[in-house]
Structure 1
Amino acid sequence: DTDINIQHDGCLNVWKITNGNRYLDTGRLLSEYFGTKQLLLREIQFISEFEGIVLRFMYEVSEDDLLAYAFYNKKEYIPDAGITLNATIQNLDSEVLAGKEFTIYKGDSEIIFGLNKKIKKKGTYSAEISGAGPYTSKAEFTFQYIFNSINKGAFIKNKTPVYSGIYNGSIIKNAKAKRRYHCVAKGSGWYRIKFSDGTTGYIKKNNNISLSDSAIGNVVNIYDSKYSYADMSRDIKKMAKIYQDVMELSVLASTADNNKVYCARLGNAGAKKKIIIHSAMHAREWLNSQLVMKMLERCCKYYYSEKYNGVLYSNLFKNVCFYIIPMFNPDGVNISQYGLAKIKSKSLRNIVRRFGKGRYSRWKANARGVDLNRNFSVGFRKDTARGTKRGSEGYSGPYACSERETKAFVNLVNRIKPKAVINYHEAGRVIYYTRSSALLNLVRQKTGYRTVRESISGANGSLGDYLTRKGIAWCTPETCSGTAPVSHSQFYYEWRKHRDMLPAVAKLYR
């Protein structure tokens, strides 16, 4: 047996010849093969803890290498088959920590070797290549942390390419302008971002990318004294685009006047604990839409940076998912704010004109003249004096869940099976409930409102009756004082009471 050792640039290459005399001219074979230096490791380059190392050969793999490989393995020479090699990583105690079989082809000069979790401490490791006959090649590399793990939002000002890696990475997609992405690590010149589907990519650091919350302007205008369906629709769609890393927007229903009942999902979609928050079920109570929208925006904007009782929002929302409906009754809100002007359907305008009698601002029902908070199945009262006629309030509807808005809400409840529901109404600064719960105690503590218990036996088709029958914790905080529609000046007082309601509820149920 003969060992031939070749040492160069810190790489040790060994060719062990057994029964070398069986070859006609072993010396010439070795001389010609090593003369090309094709399969000698030239260097090992550490890329990062995420991408691993590059095993780089002296030159590109040639046809001579493929022929030699086939000769030593006594296989038929197939030019497109390539050379199958083994790579192993060892620590200085010769403990094998990782192994991988890979194939290199004609024209290749390097391969990338990913590192597993066993290789996670800074230090020196040895990489060895084997499999080309009795040939081995090994060299050392130093593992280090190139990236610092972070949990931030990366706001992209203009379209930016996303790469598959920092080493010879190809562009896999573009990060869209005016969007925020979840940034999980940063290194010298690079950010590593994670997409909603769990995949990752890399973007180069430049002035086009900001990790600061202040880079994103406010969406909801708290000084808008008449926050309309058009305002809400515009804002919630804009927020869904900007905060696509934490928020997802859906449409629960299209109303009789072809407006949308939007639902924003915030938090972990896979969480077992789901919470529903909605407002403006009654049309004239539209100030709450602005309040709930601002609560949603605050949680989205400061998702990675703000804390509630010492816990980051991002951690609070890991085990809880919110379904937020800012405007349950958009048709009715249009009527309360603009009378007949915003109603597109002629038949609906006739209904509103007939029953509104010019006093549109006090309208509570939807555009079909049905009070949505009397349209649920539990305790539905079609035969009550007030519930038999269409009008601005009180009419239960032709049958239980006759309205698109009600059906959509019931479908949502049946689909996600919420742990709790908060029904925002106006006014009086009280909290209605039927059964005591941790949710009730929390909302009372946050707001300071007095509580009013409703009789379970007095069911009248309200949402509360339906939720009680389903065994779902709920409460109805009636914000503001006076009679709806209330003055916009009350918004600022209510904002101070409710701004932390979402993280507080998340902490309660996490």
Structure 2
Amino acid sequence: MSRQKFEYSPAQLAADVRKLTRSYPFVTASPIGRSVLGKPIHAIRIGAGSFNWHFNGACHANEWITSLLLMRFADDYAKACRGRTQIGGKQARDLYNRTTLWIVPMVNPDGVELVQQGVTPKHPYYKELMVWNRGSNLFHRWKANIRGVDLNDQFPACWEEERGRRGVERPGPRDYGGSGPLTEPEAIALAEWTERSDLHAVLAVHTQGEEIYWNYRGHEPSESAEWAKRLALASGYRSVWLEGSDAGYKDWFIDKFRRPGFTVEAGWGHNPLPLEGMEETYDDVMKLLAEALDLSPS
């Protein structure tokens, strides 16, 4: 996969998914669902092990760089598996044999496209989006999906408390959790796929802050704190005990399954993070993700 110099779009992602599966026959991909506007939400599978890991990115539209981080990791991991070399100091084939990794690199493709391209009067949500964005045609701060719903406030883990805390009552660029939990097709697809997949641990990549969140209301399993410390040591990020936050994917996964879940805030700066810092950010994230795969039981 070539090193990206421009914004990473849903179209580029689709092309890279096809290239990845053609280049490495042991890598497979299929959609887990579709967005409001019908774009596929791709899932990539790498591995033959019994421990099911899941990484996802671009839940928030202006955090599209997380899709690029995950796709570079997928490519580097597949290459290391084929060449029987290391990734992040770990033997890739050992990780492959112990784990099955599912990557959903872009949960919110409509939102990503909005941030990168804006809208014209021909867009099906043009009038609504201009109202929700206070008349501005600058969408670089937009985190929500195309209907103005923040997908990481959509999950049924104390959803009502999070909505009250946010205090946002209508669609907009961020923090509106919808009229109820799981109203948006992107969140529904991710939740239903998660329930079908018997995942043993999940990790959602966001930006920014160089922090790792691992707990949720005391429902996290006992190993989560130690796993977070290992991820922090591998990446140079901080392991953080987080309170006062609900309705996220990681929160819901921990609450429902009582298995390890993590949110990683990659990089440092203002969203969307510039590509100029991509190499340093990727180096940290690559080591963190390789360490995550190594956490699975032997």
- TM-score (ref. length: structure 2): 0.89
Give the strand-richer structure, 1 or 2. Answer: 1
1:389 to 1:506, Cα distance in 2 relative to 1, 3 A = same
Superposition map of 1:54-69 within 5 A: none
**Partner of residue 256, structure 1:** 36
**Partner of residue 492, structure 1:** 279
From 85, 89, 100, give the equivalent of 1:306. 85
Tell me the SS of whatever aligns to 1:354.
helix
From 471, 478, 487, give the equivalent of 2:265. 478
From 175, 187, 190, give the equivalent of 1:409. 190
Q: Does 1:354 align with 2:131?
A: yes
**Partner of residue 431, structure 1:** 212
Tell me how far apart the structure 2 counterparts of residues 393 and 309 of structure 1 sit (CA, whole Å). 34
Superposed CA offset, 1:215-246 (max 9, x none)? xxxx2x323231111111111112112212x2
Tell me how far apart the structure 2 counterparts of residues 396 and 344 of structure 1 sit (CA, whole Å). 27
**Partner of residue 158, structure 1:** none
Aligned residue identity for 1:227: Y
Tell me the SS of whatever aligns to 1:481.
coil
1:311 CA displacement: 5.9
**Partner of residue 454, structure 1:** 242
Tell me the SS of whatever aligns to 2:168.
helix
1:507 to 1:267, Cα distance in 2 relative to 1, 3 A = same
Is the 2:235–2:287 Cα contact (8 Å) retained in structure 1? no
Tell me how far apart the structure 2 counterparts of residues 313 and 415 of structure 1 sit (CA, whole Å). 27
Superposed CA RMSD in Å reads: 2.0
Unaligned 5+ segments in structure 2 are: none
**Partner of residue 397, structure 1:** 178
Aligned residue identity for 2:131: R
1:254 CA displacement: 1.0
Tell me how far apart the structure 2 counterparts of residues 308 and 227 of structure 1 sit (CA, whole Å). 23
Aligned residue identity for 2:113: N
Identity of aligned residues (%): 25
Tell me the SS of whatever aligns to 1:276.
strand
1:307 to 1:377, Cα distance in 2 relative to 1, 3 A = same
- The ranges of structure 1 where at least 4 consecutive aligned residues each deviate by more than 4 angstroms after the TM superposition are 308-311, 382-385
1:250 CA displacement: 0.8
1:451 CA displacement: 2.5
Aligned residue identity for 1:416: S
Tell me how far apart the structure 2 counterparts of residues 327 and 284 of structure 1 sit (CA, whole Å). 11
Alignment length (residue pairs): 284
| Structure with higher RCO (Cα < 8 A, 6+ apart) | 2
Unaligned 5+ segments in structure 1 are: 1-218
Tell me how far apart the structure 2 counterparts of residues 496 and 309 of structure 1 sit (CA, whole Å). 9
Tell me how far apart the structure 2 counterparts of residues 344 and 320 of structure 1 sit (CA, whole Å). 45
Is the 1:279–1:328 Cα contact (8 Å) retained in structure 2? yes
- TM-score (ref. length: structure 1): 0.53
Is the 1:351–1:367 Cα contact (8 Å) retained in structure 2? no
Q: Does 1:468 align with 2:242?
A: no
Tell me how far apart the structure 1 counterparts of residues 24 and 132 of structure 2 sit (CA, whole Å). 41
Is the 2:251–2:261 Cα contact (8 Å) retained in structure 1? no
Superposed CA offset, 1:237-260 (max 9, x none)? 12112212x211010111111111
Tell me the SS of whatever aligns to 1:278.
strand
